[in-house]
Amino acid sequence: MSSLSRIPGIVTTDHVFRVPLDHAAPEGESIEVYAREVVAAGREHDELPWLVYLQGGPGGKANRPMGRDGWLDRALDDYRVLLLDQRGTGRSTPANRQTLARRGDARQQAEYLAHFRADSIVRDAELVRRRLLGEDGVWSLLGQSFGGFCTLTYLSLAPEHLREAFVTGGLAGLRRSADEVYRAAFPRVARKNAGHYARFPQDVAAVRRIAAHLVERPATLPDGGTLTVRAFQALGLMLGSGSGSYVLHYLLEEAWVEGPDGPELSDTFLAGAQSHLSFAQNPLYAVLHESIYGQRSVDPGATDWSAERVRKEFPEFDAEAALAGDGPVLLTGETIHPWMFETDPALRPLRETAQLLAERTDWPDLYDLPRLAANQVPVYAAVYHDDMYVDTAHSLETADAVAGTRVWVTNEWEHDGVRTSGRAVLDRLVRMARGEV
């Protein structure tokens, strides 16, 4: 199925593909994968190379274009772009509390979701490539964050069908376990806290006041979720994006109102917190997050709520201990914890499913190290200095391990630089590919 739409500056075509749930059993159950083709207006019939955009996540759908803006504007100068809704997201067959309930009990749901990692996403993309470009067609990739992880898997599974690959904030540690990822992450998050409090010193007291209130009286969010002190700390996820520190500051500014019984957290604050904390729109981000690091050759055991376990090694993130002293309460970063499946209504029905995935062992490897060492596909990667989401040292280690990789290290942008920089980040990578820088 395909349908065409015209938006100022662009022409889009919808594509829906049937793909096997399990690519190892192609005659078994199938699901749908949706992709949106985008081309500059007036160039619909031009012979243009294809660029596939792999979104961050896991569990993130591709962006919805409003026209020629941001990185897409730069991409459309040279490419026909395919925006892929990775399996389980967007207009692909959805996977959430509503649809997963149809599959049976938690064990059946977990078995289903075990097919939603990067290896399956890449095999979906390969099937799409063959249907759009033919058996021998080649295309380019742009992988943002988790999309970069998928790019490394693509280079491991089917590099012969890639012309080039661009990666932004997504060079995963090839041989790094979940525990290693989080041990490297918590110190980076602490640095981002320090940067935020240096920028907005008044927020030290503001965060302490809210945290102290929530220790005594957890708040109810508009969707029925619970804002505990640990959920409040999870707002620190914002500190890794370009504008997140400012958004957080302005949210804290409106935290309090005078109610009939004295000061209370405002509806404005609670609604704002919910918009950043709820997983209603991307539940797979929470359910599958730690599984993206599972590889039997690295760690044959379970991920077992790695972030929750590793957090205990960093007592500076204990809010109640901080409140007992006079230091700042530290906010947390890109970490998923079992308590989230209690406080978030969108995740509560998936609590047992998430537990089974956390207990799952012997995850198949996602990266072929010998093949990556012999890689012949040009790779151009933006690595953000002190990226809060992906460890810079791990990224540079991976760049050294993947032949043909050129890296641009910059501290001008945060993890979402490809989005917030307009054309700049992608333009730099394309010019690297063209030999202009």
Q: Both tokens of residue 162? A: 């890639």
Catalytic (active site) residue 362 = yes
CA dihedral (215, 221, 224, 227) in degrees, to 10, reads: -30
Contact in structure between 36 and 83 (CB atoms under 8 Å)? yes
Q: Both tokens of residue 174? A: 């090839």
Q: Residues 167, 169, 175, 178: is their CA dihedral positive or negative?
A: negative
Give the active site residue among 145, 156, 241, 278: 145
Give the active site residue among 69, 105, 267, 362: 362
Give the active site residue among 245, 415, 416, 427: 415
Catalytic (active site) residue 145 = yes
Q: Residues 45, 55, 374, 123: is their CA dihedral positive or negative?
A: negative
Q: Rounded CA gap, 437 and 434, in Å?
A: 8
Q: Rounded CA gap, 80 and 38, in Å?
A: 6
Q: Both tokens of residue 220? A: 């109810």
Q: Rounded CA gap, 21 and 8, in Å?
A: 36
Which DSSP category does 226 fall into?
A: E
Q: Rounded CA gap, 312 and 138, in Å?
A: 47
Residues annotated catalytic, as ranges: 145, 362, 415
